[in-house]
Structure 1
Amino acid sequence: MTTFLTYTILGLVLGAVYFIAASGLVLTYNTSGIFNFAHGAQAMFGTFLYWQFTSRWGWPVWLALVVVVGVVGPAMGAALHAVIMKGLRGTAEVTKIIVTVAVLLGTVYLAQWAWNPDEAYTVDMFFGGGAKITVAGVVVRWHEIVCLAAAVAIAVGLRLLFTRSRTGVVMRASVDDPDLVRLNGHDPERAAMLAWALGSTLAVLAGVLIVPISGGGLDANMLTLLVIDAFAAAMFGRLRSIPRTFAGAIVLGLAANYVLAYLPSAGTFAGNLRVSLPMILLFVVLVVLPQDRLRGAAVRTRERYRPPTVRSAAVWGAVLVAVVYLYSLLLSDGGVSTLALGMSFAIIALSLTVLTGYAGELNLAPLAFGAVATIVAFHVGVRGSGLAARLGVEGVLLGVLAAAVVGGLIALPALRLRGLYLALATMAFGVFLSNMVLRDTTQHELFGVKFTLFPGGSLVVPPPRLGPVDLRDGTTFLMTATVLFALIALGLAALRAGGYGRRLAAMKDSPAATAMLGQNLVRLKLGVFMISAAIAGLGGILMSAATGTVAQENFAFTVSLSLLMLVVVAGIGYISGALFGGLMAGVGGAVLVGTFGDLALEHEGPADIFTALGHLVMVLTALVGMGVGRNPSGVVHDVVEGYRAMRGAKPLLYGAAAFGAVLYVLAVTGVIGSWTFSLIALCVVMLLPVVGRAYLEEGRKRGTPLELLGVDEPYTDDLRARLDQELGLPVTAGTLKGGAGVTA
């Protein structure tokens, strides 16, 4: 009985902290319509600051709490809303999710920059671990009593705020109809900012409370994921009801501790299940609870994509293969292997293009399906041992098939989910797979066959042998991955141009209208999920073979989020967006960080500067993701439109091509290095549309006849001033610069 009471009290305490974290999510979602995936990262950052104040600087606990919970927490939430979140109105659900994901990643990178992840950090309980009382033979610490009291007070306070106060009504109305709120004399942005400030405060408070009761160890990634466990409680209340959120949090805390207390402790199953339980419950809650009905009207967003034709996809695919081959001639063996890894990530990114870009469905864990394919391919397709080991084509095919089947099985119960709910369901699967499957190092027996999913915690995946093609050679591997990317891209372009692709686009714009026209939404979703999972599985196998040895961290949930963020930044509706985002995820950040790390080791004097630049690269990557709300169509969209507008600037295009050819010859002959060639070529590609726009504008001003001024171009003050000059009329001084001026 004492054991039961002990774990019950511990479960209530853990559930109370989960509720504090989940209530912040409910608060911000109800007032802004944005689900804050960075909630756990805010809790983590605030907890690190609390440790900095108390352990390193020796502040009193009460003063550190006042500063962290009372000042830093609200300021962090208000700043997030003012700078980023209020600019997300009119964007698609994926854009809103990705912006908060970018905040999550940026906060984690910033914390790892400020606090060395290789050092140990611990946070003590309030009043110390010895401050305790005994209730019915069970020891209860004062820190745990504070957690319970705070949860009850917050539950009552939020309930009163939402139901009994004018401020709470304005907060809830701000997301439903901000224009009506303005007509009634209130400022919806101010109400949303207040909600974000309160939500951030609750996140920070949850982080400070949960670390001591979970062992006291403070780690950026672990604490972020620990607070993410509170998502299940928030969804139990459907992001609306504070009482149901409280009940869900208590159930979650009790279940986690009962699993730890009563399941057999032999092996790693019980521990893995306890860690995975919140994600299991999150998936179950999402599937079981009733969902909103289909909306009759489509919501117009600011994203605009121009799908390629099959012909253009074939031409650009051939160009890509040729460019990659020519570029591989400039690289060392290590550079070729790194680029091959980037191409495998680009193939995984194509799974997001078809699923999210074409169909509007969300998957936050594409690498989870790559992990499934890798495990199957490793166990059934590896032949030989040592240096002679190879991955056979049957292993690759079975791995891809397994990924497609698992994708269908995961999608089937979640097919009625949409938008945020579907994103959370895929996130739950990804985290569950990482915590439950990829940590499984014990031996199992099935039909008399003994096996271990992850023997020794890692898998050694040899290079594939695809018929007569042996991918042990780095260049062969790279070109094979590039050709596969081009072929899959061509298939997706054909799919998008066909009837199935048009049905997917219609489902993305308006599911209700698509269903009304007789389309089977379940079949459409199931099909596109399986196609996407199969592509991710193929990319995952190639990624594992390019890496050589893969472990749990290679398929971590944060890696999937980083890939998704970069693809959205590039343009998730474009095949070239998948190429750019995949290369950046697999090559760009790692190469830059590794380069700065090598420079820090080689030069002792400026070592700190190079180390700081390596961290800065990661933070800046996240900052780019935070700014996607300003350009939701992606960087590729701007570049493509810029080059499309340069059709009248052929001399510039010919000149750039000649300059590129000369630059390549210099690189091949060793006059310049491959890094120099890459940087100059990238700058030319990105800046050419800007130069071309200025060139065309100048040519238009010089060459447009007077009678056509203002017909094919905007009628600006500059055009008016030019007409006045040509006609001999008085010209206003400063008009050419757009100013008011005085009459000359």
Structure 2
Amino acid sequence: MTTFLTYTLLGLVLGAVYFIAASGLVLTYNTSGIFNFAHGAQAMLGTFLFWQLKYDWGWPTLAALLVVIGLVGPLLGAALHALIMRGLRDTADVTKIIVTVAVLLGMVYLSQWIWNPDEARTVEMFFGADAKVTVLGVVVRYHEIVCLVAAAAIAIGLRVLFTRSRIGVVMRGSVDDPDLLRLNGHDPERAAMLSWALGSTLAVTAGVLIVPVGGGALEANMLTLLVIDAFAAAMFGRLRSIPRTFAGAMVLGLAATYVMGYLPASGPVTGNLRVSLPMIVLFVVLVVLPQDRLRGAAIRTRERYRVPTVRSAAVWGLVLVAVVYLYSLLLEDSGITTLTLGMTFAIIALSLTVLTGYAGELNLAPLSFGAVATIVAFHFGVSGSGLSAYLTPQGVLAGVAAAALVGGLIALPALRLRGLYLALATMAFGVFLSNMVLRDTTEHELFGVKFTLFPNGTLAVPPPKLGPLDLRDGQTFLMTATVLFALLGVALAALRNSGYGRRLAAMKDSPAATAMLGQDLVRLKLSVFMISAGIAGLGGVLMSAAAGSVSGENFTIMGSLALLMLVVVAGIGYISGALLGGLMSGVGATVLVGTFNDLALEHEAMSSIYSALAHLVMVGTALVGMGVGRNPSGFVHDIVESYRHTTKPVRYGGAAVGAVLYVLALTDVIGVWTFAIAVLCGVMLLPVIGRMLQEEGRRRTTPLELIGVDEPYTDQLRARLDRELGLPALPVTAEKGGARATA
């Protein structure tokens, strides 16, 4: 009985902390309409700051708590709303989600910059671990009592705030009908800012309380995901009900401790299940939630995408293959391998283009489907051994089919979910896969066959061999991946221009109208999910083969979120957006960070500066994602529009300069880095140069009213004046001896 009471108490304490975190989510969502995926990162950042004040600088506990919870927490939430969140009105769900994901990644990168991840840090319980009392034979520490009392006080306070106070009504009205709220003399933005300040305070409070309960050292990713477990508790109340959120948090905490206490301790299943349980509960809760009503009308957002024709997609696909081939001639073997990884990430990114860009559905774990395909291809498609091993076409196809099948199975119970709920469902699947499958290094036996999913925690995936095409050669692998991306891009362009693609676009704009026109939404969602998962699976297998060896760290939810963020930044509705987003994810940040780290090792006197630049690259990437709200269509849209107004001579001139630079790089007159930077700057500056030349040309053109005054009449000016006035053209004349003669 004492054991049961002990685990019950631990479960209640854990549930209390989950509730504190979940209540902040409920508060901000109810008052701004934005689900804050960065909630866990805010808790993590506050906890690290508390450690800095109390343990590194020696502040008293009370003073550190007052600064972190009473000052930093509210200011952090208010700043997020004022600088970022208030600009997300009239944007699609994916844009709102990606901005908060960018904030999450930025805070994680910032914490790793300030606090070295290689150094161990711990936070002790308030009043110390020895400050305790005994109740019914159960030891209760003062820190645990603080958690329970704080959760009860917050539950009562928020209940009163939402139901009995005027400010609570104003907060809810700021998202329900901000215009009506303004008519009644209230400022909805001020109310939303207040709710974000309170929500951030609750997140920081949860982070400071949960670390001593869970034990272990402070680590940015783990602490962020630990607080993200509170998402399941928030879903119990469907982001509206504080009492149901409280009940869900307690159920979640008790279930976690009972699993740890009563399941068999031997083997990794119990530990993995304990970590994965919140995500399992989250997925189940999302599936059994009452179904949302279909939207009756299309929601107008600021995202605008141009649909390419199949012909233009094919032409640009050929251009891409040619450009990659020419550029590969400048690279060494390591550079070719890195670029190959970038192209495989671009293939995975194409799965997001068809699913989110075309159909409006969300998947926060594209790398997880790549992991599924990799595991299947490794176990059923590797032929030979050692250096002569290769991946068979049958293995690649089996991996793609498995990923598509899993995508269908994940989508099937979640088919009635949209927007935020679907995003959370896919995130729950991604975290579950990382915790339960990718950590499984034990031997299993099924139908007399022994196997291990992840032997020794890694999978050595050899390059594929497709008939006479052996991808052991780096350049061959690169060109194969590029051709596959081009073919998939043309196929997606054809799909988008087909009747099926138009049905996907209609479902994205208005599911209710699409259903009224007789379209089967279940079939549409299921099919597009399977197509997307299959593409992600293909990219995952190729990525694993290009890397040679992969572990669970290659398929984490953080990697999936970073990839999705960069694709949205580039333009998730464009095939070129998938290309640039995938390259930035697989090549851009990796190359820059690796280069700065190498420079730091080579130049000890400048090591601190180079290390800071490496961290700045990661933080800067997240900052770009935070600005998506100002340009939700992505920067590819801006580039395309700017080049539409650039004259052909300017484009041809830019191409000629690029050709000259390439010849100089090919003959080693300039370096590859110099060539790449010069071309990148040229691509960005060419539209600016074109606009400057056009403006100069307009300035040099004589206004119509000054023809014959500032400039004498000529045949060209007369012809121009006739055109402007709509007069018929005169016969061509010639000047002879000062007299005009008709030719």
TM norm structure 1: 0.94
Please give the alpha-carbon distance, in whole angstroms, between the structure 2 residues aligned to 1:702 and 1:2.
92
1:449 aligns with: 449
1:213 aligns with: 213
Gap runs ≥5 in structure 2: 708-743
Give the secondary structure class of the aligned counterpart of 2:605.
coil
Residues 1:612 and 2:598 are matched in the alignment: no
Please give the alpha-carbon distance, in whole angstroms, between the structure 1 residues aligned to 2:652 and 2:622.
36
> Which amino acid in 2 is paired with 1:690?
V
Residue 699 of structure 1: CA displacement?
A: 2.2
User: Where does 1:136-151 land on structure 2 (aligned, <5 Å)?
Assistant: 136-151=136-151
2:266 aligns with: 266
Q: 1:207 to 1:231 in 2, by over 3 A?
A: same
2:674 aligns with: 676
Please give the alpha-carbon distance, in whole angstroms, between the structure 1 residues aligned to 2:695 and 2:558.
44
User: Where does 1:398-413 land on structure 2 (aligned, <5 Å)?
Assistant: 398-413=398-413
2:378 aligns with: 378
Residue 497 of structure 1: CA displacement?
A: 0.4
> Which amino acid in 2 is paired with 1:284?
V
1:513 aligns with: 513
Residues 1:357 and 2:357 are matched in the alignment: yes
2:163 aligns with: 163
Q: Could you give the per-residue CA deviations for residues 620-660 of structure 1, whole angstroms, max 9, x where no partner exists?
A: 000000001000000000000111111xx222112111100
Residue from 670, 688, 691 that aligns with 1:690: 688
1:51 aligns with: 51
Is the 1:174–1:189 Cα contact (8 Å) retained in structure 2? yes
> Which amino acid in 1 is paired with 2:654?
A
1:77 aligns with: 77
Q: 1:707 to 1:268 in 2, by over 3 A?
A: farther
Q: 1:173 to 1:452 in 2, by over 3 A?
A: same
1:182 aligns with: 182
1:633 aligns with: 633
Is the 1:28–1:199 Cα contact (8 Å) retained in structure 2? yes
2:713 aligns with: none
Residue 698 of structure 1: CA displacement?
A: 2.9
Give the secondary structure class of the aligned counterpart of 1:199.
helix
Residue 385 of structure 1: CA displacement?
A: 1.3
1:341 aligns with: 341
Please give the alpha-carbon distance, in whole angstroms, between the structure 2 residues aligned to 1:463 and 1:278.
37
1:590 aligns with: 590
1:737 aligns with: none
Please give the alpha-carbon distance, in whole angstroms, between the structure 2 residues aligned to 1:624 and 1:21.
27
Give the secondary structure class of the aligned counterpart of 1:606.
helix
Give the secondary structure class of the aligned counterpart of 1:126.
coil
Please give the alpha-carbon distance, in whole angstroms, between the structure 1 residues aligned to 2:705 and 2:162.
63
1:330 aligns with: 330
2:657 aligns with: 659
> Which amino acid in 1 is paired with 2:378?
F
Please give the alpha-carbon distance, in whole angstroms, between the structure 1 residues aligned to 2:691 and 2:304.
21
Q: Could you give the per-residue CA deviations for residues 521-573 of structure 1, whole angstroms, max 9, x where no partner exists?
A: 00000000000000000000011011111011100000000000000000000
2:537 aligns with: 537
Please give the alpha-carbon distance, in whole angstroms, between the structure 1 residues aligned to 2:673 and 2:696.
34
Q: Which moved more, 1:346-355 or 1:687-696?
A: 687-696
> Which amino acid in 2 is paired with 1:686?
M
1:719 aligns with: none
User: Where does 1:201-600 land on structure 2 (aligned, <5 Å)?
Assistant: 201-600=201-600
Residue 690 of structure 1: CA displacement?
A: 1.8
Is the 1:378–1:461 Cα contact (8 Å) retained in structure 2? yes
> Which amino acid in 2 is paired with 1:206?
A
Give the secondary structure class of the aligned counterpart of 1:297.
coil
2:716 aligns with: none
Is the 1:29–1:36 Cα contact (8 Å) retained in structure 2? yes
Residue 597 of structure 1: CA displacement?
A: 0.2
Is the 1:124–1:216 Cα contact (8 Å) retained in structure 2? no
Residue 706 of structure 1: CA displacement?
A: 3.2
Please give the alpha-carbon distance, in whole angstroms, between the structure 2 residues aligned to 1:186 and 1:299.
25
Gap runs ≥5 in structure 1: 710-744
Q: 1:160 to 1:310 in 2, by over 3 A?
A: same
Please give the alpha-carbon distance, in whole angstroms, between the structure 2 residues aligned to 1:708 and 1:435.
76
> Which amino acid in 2 is paired with 1:418?
R
Alignment size in residue pairs: 707
Please give the alpha-carbon distance, in whole angstroms, between the structure 1 residues aligned to 2:56 and 2:291.
48
Please give the alpha-carbon distance, in whole angstroms, between the structure 2 residues aligned to 1:170 and 1:490.
50
Residue 701 of structure 1: CA displacement?
A: 3.9
> Which amino acid in 1 is paired with 2:269?
F
Please give the alpha-carbon distance, in whole angstroms, between the structure 2 residues aligned to 1:702 and 1:103.
48
Residue 702 of structure 1: CA displacement?
A: 3.3
1:718 aligns with: none
Give the secondary structure class of the aligned counterpart of 1:605.
helix
Please give the alpha-carbon distance, in whole angstroms, between the structure 2 residues aligned to 1:331 and 1:383.
30
Please give the alpha-carbon distance, in whole angstroms, between the structure 1 residues aligned to 2:673 and 2:62.
53
Q: 1:581 to 1:7 in 2, by over 3 A?
A: same
1:714 aligns with: none
1:20 aligns with: 20
Please give the alpha-carbon distance, in whole angstroms, between the structure 2 residues aligned to 1:544 and 1:331.
21
> Which amino acid in 1 is paired with 2:443?
Q
Is the 1:29–1:35 Cα contact (8 Å) retained in structure 2? yes
Residue 292 of structure 1: CA displacement?
A: 1.7
> Which amino acid in 1 is paired with 2:32?
S
Please give the alpha-carbon distance, in whole angstroms, between the structure 2 residues aligned to 1:62 and 1:27.
26
Q: Could you give the per-residue CA deviations for residues 172-194 of structure 1, whole angstroms, max 9, x where no partner exists?
A: 00001111111000000000000
> Which amino acid in 2 is paired with 1:342?
G
* Fraction of identical pairs, as percent: 81
Is the 1:74–1:200 Cα contact (8 Å) retained in structure 2? yes
Q: Which moved more, 1:697-706 or 1:597-606?
A: 697-706
Q: Which has the larger radius of gyration?
A: 2
Give the secondary structure class of the aligned counterpart of 1:439.
coil
1:728 aligns with: none
Residue 693 of structure 1: CA displacement?
A: 2.0
Residue 707 of structure 1: CA displacement?
A: 6.9
Q: Could you give the per-residue CA deviations for residues 481-524 of structure 1, whole angstroms, max 9, x where no partner exists?
A: 00000000010000000000000000000000000000000000
Is the 1:340–1:478 Cα contact (8 Å) retained in structure 2? yes
Q: Could you give the per-residue CA deviations for residues 658-682 of structure 1, whole angstroms, max 9, x where no partner exists?
A: 1001000000000001111000001
**How much is the aligned-residue C-alpha RMSD, in angstroms?**
1.0
> Which amino acid in 2 is paired with 1:445?
E
Give the secondary structure class of the aligned counterpart of 1:459.
strand
Residue 704 of structure 1: CA displacement?
A: 7.1
Please give the alpha-carbon distance, in whole angstroms, between the structure 2 residues aligned to 1:309 and 1:595.
39
> Which amino acid in 2 is paired with 1:694?
M
